[in-house]
Structures are given as C-alpha cells and as structure tokens.
Amino acid sequence: MRQVQRRTVALLGMAQVFAGIGTGATVSIGSILAVELSGSSAWAGAVATVMTLGAALAALPLAALADRRGRRIGQVAGLSAALAGAVLMVLAVVSGLFVLLVLGAAGIGVGSAASLQARFAAVDLADPEHRGLALSTVVWAVTIGAVTGPNLIQPGTVVGQALGLPPVAGPFVISGAGLLLAAVLLFVGLRPDPLLLARELAAQGAQAGEHPAAPRVDGRAGIGPAGQAAHDGGTLVRGLRAIRGSRTALLAVAAVVGAHAVMVGVMSMTPLHLQELVEGPGASHAGHTASGDVLVIIGFTISLHIAGMFALSPVMGWLTDKAGRAQTIMIGFTLLMTAVAVAGFGQASTAAVAVGLVLLGLGWSAATVSGSTLLAESVAQESRVAVQGVSDMLMGAAGAVGGAVSGLVLSWVGYLGLNLLGGAVGAVVLAAAFLAVMAGRRQSAAA
C-alpha cells in the first residue's frame, strides 16, 4: 500500500509541474490583456475574476465526477477544459475579441479547480501522521511549472513569432502543451485510482470492525468527533451538512477560503500597480501597452509570489503534522497580515512589493496546506469528496469576489487600502483559529 501511495504522489506531482505552466502566463499578463482587448481599465480584474469563478463553479461538478468515477477521471476532465481555455486565449489574442479571453480564462479556471483537488487525491491513501506531508508534496510540485510559467512570457513571444502568431500569444501555446502533457500523464498512469482504492480498503476495515480515529485539530488533542455524513441529497447538500456537523471542518473551510480571498485580491492587482509604479500614473489605462521592462518586472515578481505559495509547501506540511493543524493555520494568517503590511506600506518600492508578495504566498501556503489537511480528516469517508468539493467551490467563489472587488478597491482607496482590507479579513480568521486552539487545550485538560 505504501508503494501505491508513493507512486500516486509522484504521478500527481509530475502532472502538477506541467499543469502549473498552463496557468502562469494567464496570471501574469491576464489583467494587461483584459485592459487592451476591452478598451477599459474597469475590466482589469476580469481575467482573475473569471478564472477564480470558473474554478468555483467547476469544483462541485469535478468533485461529483470524482465521487462517481474516481480521481483519475476528475483530474483529466479538468485539465482538458484548461487545455481548451489555452486555445481560446490564443484565439483571443489573434482576433482581438475580449469575449474569447474571458471564455479562455474560465477554462483555465476549471483546470485550476482540478489542480486544487489533486492535493486531496494525495491523502486518500496516506497514513494520518503523514497526511500533511503527502498533501504538501503535491502542492510543492506546482512550484516548478508555476514559477516557470510567468517567466515564459519573453520566450513565448519567440514561439508566437515562429508560428506566425502575435508574439503575446506564444506563452499560451506553451501553456497548452503543458496542460496536454499533464492530462495524458494522469490518464495513463493514475492506476489504481487512489480514491476508489481507499474506499475499498475502508469497506474492508468496516467489515473487520475497525473505526477511524477522531480528527485532531491541533495534531495532538481532539476537540470533538467529526460530523456524520448525510446519505441523501446531492454533492452540495451532503457537503454542507457534513461541514456544519464538524467544528474542525468549519475552521478548515474558513482558513482555505479566507487565505485565498486575501491572496487573489492583492495578487491580481499587483501587476497594474507595478506598471503604474514603473511607468507613472495612468500607465495602466486602456490603450497603453506595457513595455518589455515592465513585463519582466511583473513576471519576476509574480514568479517570486508563486514560489512563496508552493516552494516551501513540504515545510508547511511538516509543521501541520508536527505543530498541529490549527497552529499552522495561525502561522499562515500571521504571515498574510505581515505580507499586506509590507506590500501596502512599501507600495512605492518594487522591492517591498516583491517581498510582500513572497510573504503573501508563504501565508497562503501555510493556511491552505494545514486547512486542507484538517478538512480531509474532519468528516466521514463517505462525505469526504463532497466536502472537498464544497470547500473548493467556496474557495474559488471567495477568490472571484476578491478579484472583482480588488479593482474597485484599488481605484477607490489605492494599493495600500486594498492591502489593509486583506489584513482585516486575515485578522478575523486568525482569531477563529486561536479560539479553536484554546478550546482544544481546555477540552484536553478536562479529559
């Protein structure tokens, strides 16, 4: 069984490398393309918003598909949609049609939902004491592709020219190739399916009279049993019922949703802020094309941010297993609040913004790894996939709202105000995690 788990994590990790390349270019230049193709800076956040909204809307259908057919089919379906999105991105650049850009972003968002659910596939067969590390290993694998993606903007222009396409279409050609490789790898190699095998083993254990241990919010002391799964209703209903029945699941969902909202809100507007910082006020207005130097700065900054999100994921997984789930959530939101302070108050410096974006990525990593690990063990086996789908749906919805609102907030109160708003959201979740840890310790002491 350990050999199957190691092979599953390795395959998921390899696929994440190629899939990560598929989203890097969209994140880096999506807001600039949106302004150029729409003719209005009001649409600057459209690509990030549609990507996250696409991920949110796809989370439940992908989870339902995985619930019925297994992780392999769910993953391949999501990556195939992302591949179609990359093709639409190329067509949008060629035709100049803004609607194709939006549809392409939606397809990329579906692929993002599949990549997010890959982290849960990594823990289907994992031992309880190694769940954080297994999950974080797959998250870490995104680093190579996701960091490489934004830096393929310049090489991508060469590819575009070689294919007779507009230079800016080239990065999306590379993205499509990466997504195709990821889909083929999982379709061929992810056998046996980890979710289906885990269910088979759980059924055998139930017949033998074995019962899983209650989830532990701090990695040592439990704070109560998980909610029982509902046996009727659709994926959404079952997931919501299971989450409401478990305090640990509620905390886990608050962590991943809150961290994603803060991260997307700040990150999606940073390219526009950097463009105005380097080229002067008004540089991000419609009709103004960013210079090559600005694109390099943006690509490098986003790469550092994505490295922060994924490069130290194994460390966050180790902390999750050793220090505790809720404690690592607290570390994550402390980092997020530090990040928005550095980026916001240091908004006049490209270096300070870059440091803030790195810290933003680290905070997201800690909160997402620990929150996802806690969620995976907070409900019964039969409700797990539904709960994960609901969590990812809410996570994507929060990111969509963050991406949509961030453009308005940026225009109203500036980059500093945007960061301070993110800090306020982080403070609320940090307080909730602290109260959960205190409650767990009191219950442990009473026991």
Question: pTM for the full model?
Answer: 0.78
Residue 208 falls inside a structural domain: no
What's the token pair of residue 114? 């599949």
Rounded Cα–Cα distance for residues 306 and 143 (Å): 7
Residue 177 falls inside a structural domain: yes
**Average pLDDT of the chain?**
85
In this structure, what are the phi and psi dihedrals at residue 378, rounded to the nearest 5 degrees?
-95, -5
Provide the sign of the torsion angle of the four alpha carbons 370, 380, 246, 386, taken in this order.
Answer: positive
Out of 87-91, 151-155, 255-259, 302-306, pick the least confident.
Answer: 151-155
Provide the sign of the torsion angle of the four alpha carbons 214, 229, 392, 416, taken in this order.
Answer: negative
Residue 209 falls inside a structural domain: no
Question: Mind giving me the DSSP string for 274-329?
Answer: HHHHHH-TTTTSTTPPPPHHHHHHHHHHHHHHHHHHHTTHHHHHHHHHHT-HHHHH
Rounded Cα–Cα distance for residues 401 and 393 (Å): 12
Residue 207 falls inside a structural domain: no
Question: What SS3 class is residue 379?
Answer: strand
Going by C-alpha positions, the residue among 197, 253, 203 that lies closest to residue 374 is 253
Rounded Cα–Cα distance for residues 447 and 441 (Å): 10
Residue 156 backbone zone (phi > 0: left; psi -120 to 50: alpha; other: beta): alpha
Rounded Cα–Cα distance for residues 118 and 109 (Å): 14
38 and 286 in contact (C-beta within 8 Å)? yes
- For 285-340, how does the pLDDT look when each residue is reduced to its tens digit (9 = 90+)? 444 455 567 777 888 888 889 888 888 999 999 999 999 999 999 999 999 999 99
Segment 121-134 shows an average pLDDT of 90
CB atoms within 10 A of CB 211: 7
343 pLDDT more than 70: yes
> Which residue do the tokens 């939606």 mark?
106
Tell me the helix, strand and coil percentages in the chain, rounded to 5.
85, 0, 15
pLDDT attached to residue 233? 43
**Beta strands, E only, 109-261:** none
Question: Where do runs of H (alpha helix) occur along 122-152?
Answer: 131-148
Question: What SS3 class is residue 216?
Answer: coil
pLDDT attached to residue 159? 85
pLDDT attached to residue 211? 53
Containing domain of residue 189, as a range? 2-202+215-446
Residue 30 falls inside a structural domain: yes
Number of folded domains that form the chain: 1
Question: What SS3 class is residue 163?
Answer: coil
pLDDT attached to residue 422? 94
The amino acid present at 187, given as its one-letter code, is F
Residue 210 falls inside a structural domain: no
Rounded Cα–Cα distance for residues 375 and 13 (Å): 21
Residue 172 falls inside a structural domain: yes
pLDDT attached to residue 48? 75
Going by C-alpha positions, the residue among 261, 260, 267, 264 that lies closest to residue 354 is 267
pLDDT attached to residue 40? 79
Rounded Cα–Cα distance for residues 328 and 217 (Å): 10
Rounded Cα–Cα distance for residues 223 and 436 (Å): 8
371 and 252 in contact (C-beta within 8 Å)? yes
Residue 17 falls inside a structural domain: yes
CB atoms within 10 A of CB 354: 22
pLDDT attached to residue 287? 46
DSSP code at position 212: P
**How many separate helices (H) and strands (E) can be counted in the chain?**
15, 0
Going by C-alpha positions, the residue among 388, 398, 404 that lies closest to residue 428 is 398
The CATH number of residue 16's host domain is 1.20.1250.20
pLDDT attached to residue 229? 37
